Structure 1
Amino acid sequence: MSHYHSVNCDDDDDGDQTPVLQGSPHQYGTIGDDQLIKEPQEHNFKRRRLYYSITIIALLLIVIAVSIILVVTLEEEEDDEKHYHTIRRNNLSFLVVGDWGGQPTSPYYTSAQKDVAHQMGRKAEEISSQFTVGLGDNFYDHGVTDVDDSRFNTTFESVFTAESLQSRWYMVAGNHDHYGSTEAQIAYTKKSHRWYMPNYYYTEEFKISPNFIIQFVFIDTELLSTSDQGCSPANESDPQWLWIENTLAASTSQWLFVLGHHPVWSVAEHGPTEILVECLRPLLIEYNVTAYFCGHDHTMQHLHEEDSSVEYFVSGAGHNTNFLRSHNDDVPENSLKFHYGPLDFFSAIGAFAHVTINSTIMSVTYVDYEGNNLYFYTTETTRDKEG
C-alpha cells in the first residue's frame, strides 16, 4: 500500500483557500515544513542500523558457539574412539572399597558399612575423588533378584549418599553376587546415574595429559575361579582368560591396574586363590601390571613379592572386618607389608582405600571407619613413561 499525504483547502478569513496537509495514518512523526518526509526516514534508518548490528552480533556469537562445539565434539569423538576419559587436571584420585554389601535383613546395611560410607564421603570431598571402585560382594548374602530389587536402594543408593560419592562407581561382581542375578547388576548400569558394570569384565582408560594414560582392567574372578577350562579357554564358552591376556598385551598405558574380587595373595581367612596364583599372576608379571586390587577377605592388606614390580592390595572391609590370619605361611616370604583386622571374628569395624596417581607417583592410603589413616604407601611407575 502506498504511503501518501493528501492536500485539502480551507477558507481563511480573507476568503483565500489555504492548503492544509493531512498525514497518512501509516506515517510517523510531526507533519510540517521539512520534517514531513525527513523525520520518518531517519527513524527507519536508525531502526535498520540497529537491526543489522544485532543481526551481525548474533551471527558472530553463533559462529563462536558452533566453533567451540565442533572442537569439543571432535575431541570427545577422538577420546571415545580410544576409550579414553580425559581428566582436566594433573592427577587421578579415586576410592576403593570391597565387600560392602550390607546384610540380607532389615535395615539391609551394617553399622560398619554406614560408618565407612560416611568416611568415604568426607575423604572423597577432601581429595576431589573422581570415581569409586567397588570390588564385589555388593549384596549379601545372595545378590539381587532383578534390576528392580529394593536392595539397590537400601544397600547402595540410600547408604552412600554424600554428594562427593555421586560420581561413577566402577563395579565388579563377587561370589555372593553370583548367588543371585549378576545380569541384573549389569542391567542396573542403565538405571542408575552412578552404578557402572557394563559387562562381567571390561576396561577403562583415563588420560591425564596428552600422552599419559592410566588403564583399569576389571575382571570377574568368580567366573575364573569356577571355570573348568583352566587358564586358556578350550573353546569360546570361556573367553575371559584370552581377553585378559590380549588386553594386557595391547596396553600402552603408563599405569596399568587389574581389579577383581578374589585375591591372588592373602594371609587372611580365604587365603590365596589357586587359579589366580597359577594363571593370573604370571600375566601380571609378564605385562608389567602396576597393581592388583581385590577384596573377598574382610581385611586390608598390602603384599609385594621380591623380584616383582606388581603390588597386591586387598580392600575387603566395606561392611565388617575379620581378624583371622589363617594363611600366614601360604604367601611368599616377606611379601606381607601390612595387615589390618581387629580381634573380633566379625567386628562392626570397616575400612576402605583411596588412591592418587600422577605422571610418576601413585599413593595408596587405607582409612578406617573413624577416618583414621591406617597405612600409607607410595610407588613409582615401572612402565614406559614416554607414552
Structure 2
Amino acid sequence: MGCDKPGPADVAGAESAWAWLEAQLMASTADFLWVAGHYPIYSAGQDGTNRMLVHRLLPLLGKYGAHYISGHDHMVEHIVSDGVEMFVTGMGRECCYRDSHRHTVPPGAMRYLLSGDGGRGPGVGPRPGSHVRGGFATMRFDDAAVVVFHDHAGAELYASPPIPPRRRALVV
C-alpha cells in the first residue's frame, strides 16, 4: 500500500505510546486539536499511504475531532477522510515527488496536490505560475483554522477551506 514498515522493534513500547496518545487526545479541551507526525497517513507520494497509521491513528483522530499535519513526502497535499483533515507539507528542501501512489488515497479524498517536476506534475487544484523549488505551510486560528501552502518565495499556492473548531460534545 506504500510506506508499510515492519512492526515496531519494541511492541510494548509502541503500545504504551498509542495509549499515551489516546489519553492526551481524550483529556484535551482545546477548540482546535492537531497531531503532527513525520509520516503521512495517506499520501500520493513515492512512499504512499501508511497502512498502520490508517488503522491505528486515523480512528483516534476521528474519535477526538483532531486533524493531522505531516511531512516526509516532498510534495504538498490536502486530504480529507473520515472527517479528518490531513496536510502533507514535505517540500521544505525540494519540490516535488511524483504522485506514484495516488491510487492509495481514498477516492474523492484529495483536495489539493502539488506533485512532480517543480510542481508541474499531475495535481489537484490551482497550479503554480512558475517552477517551485520548495516551500512551507502556515496555519491561522481564529473562528476557524486555515492551512496555507506557500512556495519557496512565500507566495500562496493554496489555502484550505476554513476548518471549524471541534464539536462542543467532544470538548468536555
1:333 corresponds to 2:107: yes
Instruction: Report the TM-score when normalising by structure 1.
Output: 0.37
Q: Distance in 2 between matches of 1:267 and 1:251?
A: 31
Q: Which residue of 2 aligns with 1:362?
A: 145
Match of 1:312 among 62, 86, 98: 86
Q: Which residue of 2 aligns with 1:372?
A: 155
1:284 corresponds to 2:36: no
1:302 corresponds to 2:94: no
Q: How does 1:215-254 map to 2 (within 5 A)?
A: 226-228=7-9, 235-236=12-13, 239-254=16-31
Encode CA deviations 1:152-203: one digit per residue, 9 max, x unaligned. xxxxxxxxxxxxxxxxxxxxxxxxxxxxxxxxxxxxxxxxxxxxxxxxxxxx
Q: Distance in 2 between matches of 1:242 and 1:236?
A: 10
More helix by share: 1
Deviation of 1:228 (Å): 4.8
The alignment partner of 1:249 has SS state of helix
The alignment partner of 1:280 has SS state of helix
Q: Distance in 2 between matches of 1:304 and 1:225?
A: 26
The alignment partner of 2:163 has SS state of strand
> 1:237 and 1:264, CA in 2 relative to 1: closer, same or farther beyond 3 A?
closer
Q: Distance in 1 between matches of 2:15 and 2:166?
A: 31
Encode CA deviations 1:118-149: one digit per residue, 9 max, x unaligned. xxxxxxxxxxxxxxxxxxxxxxxxxxxxxxxx
Deviation of 1:384 (Å): 1.8
Instruction: Report the TM-score when normalising by structure 2.
Output: 0.80
Q: Distance in 2 between matches of 1:323 and 1:236?
A: 33
Q: Which residue of 2 aligns with 1:90?
A: none
Kindly provide the amino acid, as one letter, of the partner of residue 331 in structure 1: V
Q: Which residue of 2 aligns with 1:350?
A: 134
Match of 2:69 among 279, 282, 293: 293
> 1:225 and 1:263, CA in 2 relative to 1: closer, same or farther beyond 3 A?
farther
Encode CA deviations 1:210-241: one digit per residue, 9 max, x unaligned. xxxxxxxxxxxxxx975156xxx5x3575211
Q: Distance in 1 between matches of 2:6 and 2:114?
A: 25
For the 8 Å contact 2:132–2:151, the answer to whether it is kept is: no
Deviation of 1:286 (Å): 1.3
Q: Distance in 1 between matches of 2:6 and 2:17?
A: 11
The alignment partner of 1:239 has SS state of helix
Q: Distance in 2 between matches of 1:228 and 1:350?
A: 34
Q: Distance in 2 between matches of 1:236 and 1:328?
A: 32
Kindly provide the amino acid, as one letter, of the partner of residue 285 in structure 1: G
Q: Distance in 2 between matches of 1:251 and 1:225?
A: 31
Deviation of 1:323 (Å): 3.5
Q: Which residue of 1 aligns with 2:168?
A: 384
RMSD: 2.5
For the 8 Å contact 2:8–2:14, the answer to whether it is kept is: no
User: Higher relative contact order at CA 8 Å, sep ≥6: structure 1 or structure 2?
Assistant: 2
Q: How does 1:25-44 map to 2 (within 5 A)?
A: none
Deviation of 1:312 (Å): 0.3
Deviation of 1:342 (Å): 4.2
Deviation of 1:303 (Å): 0.3
Q: Distance in 2 between matches of 1:348 and 1:313?
A: 18
Kindly provide the amino acid, as one letter, of the partner of residue 325 in structure 1: D
Q: Distance in 2 between matches of 1:369 and 1:327?
A: 25
Q: Distance in 2 between matches of 1:252 and 1:322?
A: 37
Encode CA deviations 1:29-80: one digit per residue, 9 max, x unaligned. xxxxxxxxxxxxxxxxxxxxxxxxxxxxxxxxxxxxxxxxxxxxxxxxxxxx
Deviation of 1:368 (Å): 0.1
For the 8 Å contact 1:262–1:273, the answer to whether it is kept is: yes
